[in-house]
Amino acid sequence: MITLDADGQHSLQDAIYLLEKAAISEDVLILGSREQSKDSPLRSRIGNYITKKVFYFSTGVDIEDTQTGMRAFKKSLIPNLLEIKGERYEYEMNMLLEFAKEGIKMKEYPIETIYINDNEESHFDTVKDSIRIYSQIIKFCTSSLLSFGIDFLIYSISLIMSGSILFSNAFARIISLHFNFFINKKFVFEEGKSGKISSKEYFSYLGLAAFIFVMNTLILRGIVETFHINAIIAKILTEVILFTLSYLVQKKLVFSRENKKVAQIV
């Protein structure tokens, strides 16, 4: 199956080309990637660039054209697609976010870039549809910031009351990780689903959280004991270090190796 924009941006040749690729790609979302040039409308170039960067920093998945409407897939992906929320252009972004979260493969193939009369036939509302597109990413980032705020606040209060870095960090992390899990499950990723929590999903999350906690505690205590830095300031430094480390690992190891298959221009 294939979807195409209704404003004349896609050619029949490209549609056939992507259908052929989808026919030999099981459980893979095939994306038609338009190459932006100086001849492309300015708003399209700016919008595509911003959305591409925001999507990459939010998911770690590098997709060249996140706003393409030309997408081909086999019927095996239909159950996944039917569970994704969205009515207009935000559905396309939510699809990519959900597939990135679920680890569903996405491949990009170059297609012809066609803009008729500076894309004046497009029904895209720059303000309203941009808000719709970015809403999922904004909610995800907000959830992460709230979780950090709760973690830091509880850690600081516990440290003042107990004086124990280990206890304070563990107590804060238990509260904040559960908050992050349920808020993401209920409001960020699961709006179009029943929101039921499976034991496998929950314990998998706890396993990952436990590993991060051990690393967090070791780094935190190491900074305090080695450099004699205030424990509250050390907490901020630790979170920055772990965030940077996680980002680099995903970019250099996980996604550079796996996502050559997941998201690439072929």
Residues ≥6 apart with Cβ < 8 Å to 190: 184
Is 263 among the domain residues?
Answer: no
Total number of residues shown for the chain: 266
Please tell me the least confidently modeled range out of 99-103, 185-189, 260-264.
260-264
Question: How confident is residue 256, by pLDDT bands cut at 50, 70 and 90?
Answer: very low
Select from 188, 178, 190 the least CA-distant residue to 147.
178
| β-strand pairing of 2-3 with 105-111 | unpaired
85 in the same domain as 178 = no
Confidence (pLDDT) at 257: 40
Please return the burial class of 99, using the count of CB atoms within 10 Å of its CB with bins 0-12, 13-18 and 19+: buried
- Give pLDDT tens digits for 188-224: 655 444 555 566 666 766 776 677 778 878 888 888 8
Question: How confident is residue 148, by pLDDT bands cut at 50, 70 and 90?
Answer: confident
Q: For residue 62, how far is the Cα from the chain centroid?
A: 10
Question: How confident is residue 154, by pLDDT bands cut at 50, 70 and 90?
Answer: very high
Is 184 among the domain residues?
Answer: yes
Domain boundary among 70, 95, 124: 124
Is 266 among the domain residues?
Answer: no
Cβ-contact 154, 172 below 8 angstroms = yes
Confidence (pLDDT) at 262: 46
Confidence (pLDDT) at 123: 52
85 in the same domain as 154 = no
Cβ-contact 186, 195 below 8 angstroms = yes
Q: Which residue has better confidence, 249 or 108? A: 108
Distance CA 9, CA 255 (A): 30
Task: Answer yes or no: is pLDDT of 48 > 80.
Answer: no
Domain boundary among 71, 90, 124: 124
The count of domains in the chain is 2
Confidence (pLDDT) at 28: 93
What is the value of pTM for the model shown? Answer: 0.53
Distance CA 9, CA 69 (A): 9
91 in the same domain as 138 = no
Q: Which residue has better confidence, 265 or 129? A: 129
Task: Answer yes or no: is pLDDT of 266 > 60.
Answer: no
Domain boundary among 91, 124, 157: 124
Residues ≥6 apart with Cβ < 8 Å to 202: 181
Is 262 among the domain residues?
Answer: no
- SS3 for the chain is CEECCCCCCCCHHHHHHHHHHHHCCCCEEEEEEECCCCCCCHHHHHHHHHHHHHHHHHHCCCCCCCCCCCEECCHHHHHHHHCCCCCCHHHHHHHHHHHHHHCCEEEEEEECCCCHHHHCCCCCCHHHHHHHHHHHHHHHHHHHHHHHHHHHHHHHHHHHHHCCHHHHHHHHHHHHHHHHHHHHHHHHCCCCCCCCCCHHHHHHHHHHHHHHHHHHHHHHHHHHHHHCCCHHHHHHHHHHHHHHHHHHHHHHHHHHHHHHHHCCEC
Task: Answer yes or no: is pLDDT of 132 > 50.
Answer: yes
Q: Strand pairing partners for 72?
A: 2, 30
- Give pLDDT tens digits for 67-83: 888 999 999 999 989 98
Q: Which domain holds residue 38?
A: 2-124
116 in the same domain as 12 = yes
